[in-house]
Structure 1
Amino acid sequence: MRETETADVTAFVGAAGGAGTTRTGIEVGAALAAGGREVAILDAAFATQGLADYVGGRIDPDLTRLLVDDERDLSTGLREVALPERVPGRVAVCPAHAPFERLARAKRVEAARRFESLIETAAARFDHVLLDVPPIAANQAVAAVNAADRIAVVAPASDRGTEAIQRCHERLADVGTGASLVVSVRGELETADVSVPGTEATAVDAAPACLGGDDAFARAIQRVAAAVTEEELAEPEAGGGGLLGSVGELVGR
């Protein structure tokens, strides 16, 4: 755990559905874990529930059950993401994986307040907290961006993505906040602060793909990790171990 009492919280907000927000959060979490950090990822994307795909076994309780049952501690809903043994840190996710009836209850105002409380708990226990947030259209998404210290808007590198970024900026302004960073995925956008190229390792079981070496995808994820931690980027050395070594310098204690 770092020296400060609580971790900064970053909300990865999808500018549009299917933007790649969940995968981006998993990759950035793994990059930070490569530097020895402990990372929590909490799921606000109740409709897609994609974060659940990155962990094995039964998910019970899931995040929505924690939101409707305030007697359960955050630790009961955390699941470990499998990382290579050489990675000194960890990534623990709290995914949503629930029937429609409970999803509906978890979107209520009182559940959103509970979500903010869980985010605070995670910030007290982890070095970094990442939030997987869908386009802003429900109470849990509003709670997530209001609880975050910074917001990274994620959009596909397409005309659709460009239009969605503008709508996302407007929606964030509507709820009294704004973006700190814009990330385009699967290509470049002029309006993006960081562009992440596509990767051939698209399958869920291939993630995280950023730990495999010093390619364009790994370097881009490193830049996102640098931006969300507000740390100066350490350039990888040629043949020097790729992301694992450079992010270790980036977020090293």
Structure 2
Amino acid sequence: MYATTLALVGATGGAGTTRTAVELAAVGARGGRDVAVIDAAFATQGLSEYVHGRIGTDLTALVADEAGASLSAAAYPIAGGGGSGGRDDRGTLSGRADVVPARAPFERVARAKTAEAARRLERRIDEAATAYDAVIVDASPVASNEAVAAVTAAESVAAVRPATPHGSDALQRLHGRVADVGASVDATVAVSRGIDGEPEGSAADADVTLPATDPRVAAAPAAATGDGAYPRAVADAYARLFDTTLEVDFSEAGLLERIRS
């Protein structure tokens, strides 16, 4: 098995990239896929918030210190969803949704951000592709070695931007940064916040638009079990971004819906 690898890159800070990556992994597992999310945003370490309980070995250790360890040493199931207070929903999913987070002190983060560590990160992404059906790499705007590794190692790149005029402007800058490292943005995901400043048409250039949802970490992953507009949009996004067909049972409709690319 060799997975499809997708780099999700934030066009700007706070675009919702990490949450989108987690939701995509959850809906993929709901549809029977094994999906991993790899953290390539070492500065924020936001992916670690979606792990319930203690994180021992993390991704920075694998790329800075423990070159011989398996990627599985730093893989953790995504903690439960829907405000479940940290319940592990892994058993309710048909597939597997894991995160490989960065959670480390500054000294190790600094060593994990070197060019050599970035090359090791590329190898870790390749390793994940042999163990999962899909691999999502959560990356910050391309301004660090680990982000460059993410966009150059992945088979495709999707930009995540707020559904605002500012998000559209940031997307144009990201296109230039990605092109500078020899890659290209293959798709755009616009994330709505449901607040003022999102005029109609501001996400017209996006391939996928995700509606507003509860932004709290405790409310994620909503796509693991939900049936509303947001989980359905995430399922459609998964199918489009991975160019696949994903079967998810949305009980609200009472039918097995086939989400096609």
Pair 1:126-2:132 in alignment: yes
Q: Is the 8 A contact 1:213 1:241 kept in 2?
A: no
Which residue pairs with 2:211 in the alignment?
Answer: 197
Please tell me whether residue 73 in structure 1 is matched to residue 79 in structure 2.
no
Write the mapping of 1:226-241 to structure 2, written as runs, cut at 5 A: 226-232=239-245, 239-241=252-254
* TM-score scaled by length of structure 1: 0.89
Matched, 1:34 2:30: yes
Residue 142 of structure 1 aligns with which residue?
148
Does the residue aligned with 1:17 lie in a helix, a strand or coil? coil
Q: Residues 59 and 102 of structure 2 are in contact (CA less than 8 Å); yes or no, is this contact kept in structure 1?
A: yes
Unaligned runs of 5+ in 2: 81-88, 194-201
Q: Does 1:105 pair with 2:111?
A: yes
Q: Percent identity?
A: 47
Q: Give, as a single letter, the amino acid of the residue that structure 2 aligns with 1:125.
A: A
Other structure's SS at 1:141 match: helix
Letter in 2 for 1:114: R
Measured against aligned partners, the alpha-carbon deviations of 1:110-154 in whole angstroms (never above 9, x if no partner) come to 100100111111000111101000000011110111111111100
Q: Is the 8 A contact 1:6 1:125 kept in 2?
A: yes
Partners of 1:6 and 1:250 in 2: CA distance: 22
1:195-234 correspondence to structure 2 within 5 Å: 195-199=209-213, 201-232=214-245
Q: Is the 8 A contact 2:30 2:248 kept in 1?
A: no
CA gap 1:40/1:241 in 2 versus in 1, 3 angstroms: farther
Deviations 1:220-245 (A, max 9, x none): 11121011220257798884457xx4
Unaligned runs of 5+ residues in structure 1 are: none
**TM-score normalized by the length of structure 2:** 0.87
In 2: Cα distance, 1:179 partner to 1:232 partner:
22
**Corresponding residue for residue 93 of structure 2:** 87
- Residue 41 of structure 2 corresponds to 45
Distance 1:31 1:237 in 2: 11
**Offset of residue 86 of structure 1:** 2.9
- Structure 2 vs 1, CA of residues 27 and 234 (structure 1 numbering), >3 Å: closer, same or farther? same
Pair 1:119–1:160, CA change in 2 (3 A): same
Count of residue pairs the alignment pairs up = 242
Residue 7 (structure 1) aligns with: 3
Q: How far apart are the structure 1 equivalents of 2:251 and 2:79?
A: 28
Aligned partner of residue 141 in structure 2, secondary structure: coil
Let me know the Cα RMSD of the aligned residues. Answer: 2.0
